[in-house]
With several copies, the nearest count.
Chain A
Amino acid sequence: MRFVDEFRDAGRARALAARIAERCRPGRQYTFMEVCGGHTHTIYKHGLEDLLPPEVNLVHGPGCPVCVIPMGRVDDAIHIARQPDVIMTSFGDMTRVPGGTGSFLDAKAAGADIRMVYSPLDALTIARANPDRRVVFMAIGFETTAPSTAMTVLRAAEQGVTNFSVFCNHVMIIPAIKAILDSPDFRLDGFIGPGHVSAVIGCEPYGFIAREYAKPLVVAGFEPIDILASVLMLLDQLAEDRCEVENQYARVVPWQGNRIALSAIGRVMRLRPHFEWRGLGFIAHSALAMSDEYAAFDAERVFDLPGVRVADPKPCQCGEVLKGVLKPWECKVFGTACTPETPIGTCMVSSEGACAAYYNFGRFDREQMHRAAGEASRA
């Protein structure tokens, strides 16, 4: 088994779609949030909408690591990158995120040494290869990615590397979900839970959603079949009046999560009292900073940072998109002023951002398309 194609099979998809359509109570609309940007990407990339009945609406959640970085943090990172002896390392997606003073790519064109890496370990390798430079890793991501950063810092400490630090922007999914649940315009029927985050934190932390907010949540894998299956599981729960945390992605997600990953995070990082999320404002205990024990690897302590809060651009409605209140195309600047080439908001940058995913993959009239497909098959 390759654990990929098997979960993209058209036949299985049709069966699931039929069962989903069957499960919908006629006349009722179901709105589920896929919390994770990875799911958003899958949905658009595979054209999942074509298989869902009109009763099922998927709205996109805050789980896109790139999307939630506030502008002030981008500016701080660029400030670091501009120091003449610094090599800034970053995942590729991050390089196009606009701060108040442009993006990493702009800073790079203007002379900063900014390099894309595939792994935080690559950043550490760069640090070892450039002992006379200070190498900073722009750490972003949810609990999925935080363990990799933490393990990298532990390696750096073990190897005695002193020219490496982390600009830590790791955020946590639970406080974000809680913020959405607590929002006055909350109107969801359930959640498609983030599969890879859950591989680290396990399924228990979602318990309060079922218990306290009475909403079902299914932890889902990232292949299109996984998402359809999860939708069906949510519909089943609603139909059966259950409200539970279920694990559709048991092949990858252990119910208890990953102990080593959590303890690495625990050693290297500490909870921030609060952290700004782009479009969502400050959320308490929602992010990680470097712990005191690893202060030497903390770019926030190694560098003097401006730390200025930058207001989001006026027309930006990323907050609403991230809370699932607006569909991407409902934002006024979507596809006109805000495009993947010239993003105004962060959701247009990462391929996991709802706006980018919709723009890149979903931006067409499905009815017209189906007509065209009909013509083509007749031709």
Chain B
Amino acid sequence: MCLGIPGELVEFGKDDAELAVVEISGVRRRINVGLLADEGLKPGDWVLVHVGFALSKISEDEAQAVLDALKELGQQYEEELDALRASDVG
């Protein structure tokens, strides 16, 4: 119900500014982008799709920030793991 799916905007409606088409893994669906009228959407933008409406524009920067933070965490983890292994062996 609260299901939201990220999709890439590939097309905008000609007659109806509220209509657009998103693509998700090669699958297209017509959605309503009226809730993001002031976001200046353009093809290539990603939006979160909920019950046929784009609810939010997805920020790649913010996503990347989270992933980067995780990477750092991961590196720390791997280092610690390596340290642990080294100590085990040693």
Please determine if A and B sit in direct contact within the complex, based on CB atoms under 8 angstroms apart.
yes
List chain A positions with a Cβ less than 8 A from chain B: 1-4, 6, 11-12, 14-16, 18-19, 36-38, 63-66, 91, 93, 118-122, 140-142, 144-145, 147-148, 151, 155, 194-197, 199-200, 222, 225-226, 229, 248, 250-254, 258-261, 264, 350, 352
B35–A15 CB distance below 8 A: no
In the assembled complex, the Cα of A93 lies from the Cα of B2 at a distance in Å of 11
Contacts A144-B50, A148-B35, A258-B56 known; list 20 others, CB within 8 Å: A2-B25, A6-B63, A11-B74, A16-B70, A16-B73, A36-B2, A38-B2, A65-B1, A119-B32, A120-B51, A121-B52, A140-B1, A144-B2, A148-B32, A151-B35, A199-B48, A199-B55, A260-B34, A260-B37, A352-B1
B52–A64 CB distance below 8 A: no
Tally chain B residues at the interface, Cβ within 8 Å: 39
Q: Contacts A6-B63, A19-B77, A252-B58 given: A260-B1 contact, CB under 8 Å?
A: no
A252–B36 CB distance below 8 A: no
In the assembled complex, the Cα of A218 lies from the Cα of B28 at a distance in Å of 33
**Please, which residues of chain A bring their CB within 8 A of the CB of B53?**
119, 121, 147-148, 151
B46 CB-CB contact with A under 8 Å: yes
In the assembled complex, the Cα of A200 lies from the Cα of B78 at a distance in Å of 38
B52–A3 CB distance below 8 A: no
| CB-CB nearest in chain A for B25 | A2
In the assembled complex, the Cα of A142 lies from the Cα of B2 at a distance in Å of 8
Q: Contacts A11-B74, A121-B52 given: A145-B2 contact, CB under 8 Å?
A: yes
| CB-CB nearest in chain A for B29 | A118
B89 CB-CB contact with A under 8 Å: no
Query: Nearest Cβ distance between residue B15 and chain A, in whole angstroms?
Result: 13
B88 CB-CB contact with A under 8 Å: no
A118–B51 CB distance below 8 A: yes
In the assembled complex, the Cα of A3 lies from the Cα of B63 at a distance in Å of 7
Q: Contacts A121-B52, A147-B53, A264-B35 given: A141-B2 contact, CB under 8 Å?
A: yes
Max count, chain A CB within 10 A of own CB: residue among B1, B18, B55, B60: B1
A225–B64 CB distance below 8 A: no
In the assembled complex, the Cα of A155 lies from the Cα of B74 at a distance in Å of 48
In the assembled complex, the Cα of A124 lies from the Cα of B78 at a distance in Å of 54
| CB-CB nearest in chain A for B16 | A155
In the assembled complex, the Cα of A147 lies from the Cα of B6 at a distance in Å of 18
In the assembled complex, the Cα of A265 lies from the Cα of B2 at a distance in Å of 17
Contact of B70 among A15, A119, A200 (CB under 8 A): A15
**Please, which residues of chain B bring their CB within 8 A of the CB of A258?**
35-36, 55-56
B67–A250 CB distance below 8 A: no
Contact of A251 among B35, B50, B66, B81 (CB under 8 A): B66
Query: Nearest Cβ distance between residue B14 and chain A, in whole angstroms?
Result: 17
